[in-house]
Structure 1
Amino acid sequence: MMEDKKENSQKWVRGITYLWAFPMGFIIILAMLFHLFG
């Protein structure tokens, strides 16, 4: 039971990390493009 809970929480952490990482990377790329062409 405890093992299942641990796996589930790891899945949540990974999902949250992806949700944070994708927009942040996108914003950084946009900022770099604006810096190059702006």
Structure 2
Amino acid sequence: MQWSQNCLDKVFSKKYSPLNLLLRFICFNTHIQAMVLEIN
């Protein structure tokens, strides 16, 4: 889950550029999907 931790670091970073927002959105969706798969 190391990639996930890096993703979350980016999600909660202070940089609010459009590209960062897009990456944050993708990271968040990927993280949620991974959590759902682990639960199932």
Structure 1 runs, 4 residues or longer, greater than 2 Å off: none
Q: Which has the higher contact order (CA 8 A, sep 6+)?
A: 2
After TM superposition, the score normalised by the length of structure 2 is: 0.57
Give the aligned partner of residue 32 of structure 1. 35
Structure 1 or 2, whichever has the larger Rg, is 1
**Two-structure CA RMSD over aligned residues (Å):** 1.2
Unaligned runs of 5+ in 2: 1-15
TM-score by length of 1: 0.60
Q: Percent identity?
A: 20
SS in 1 for 2:17: helix
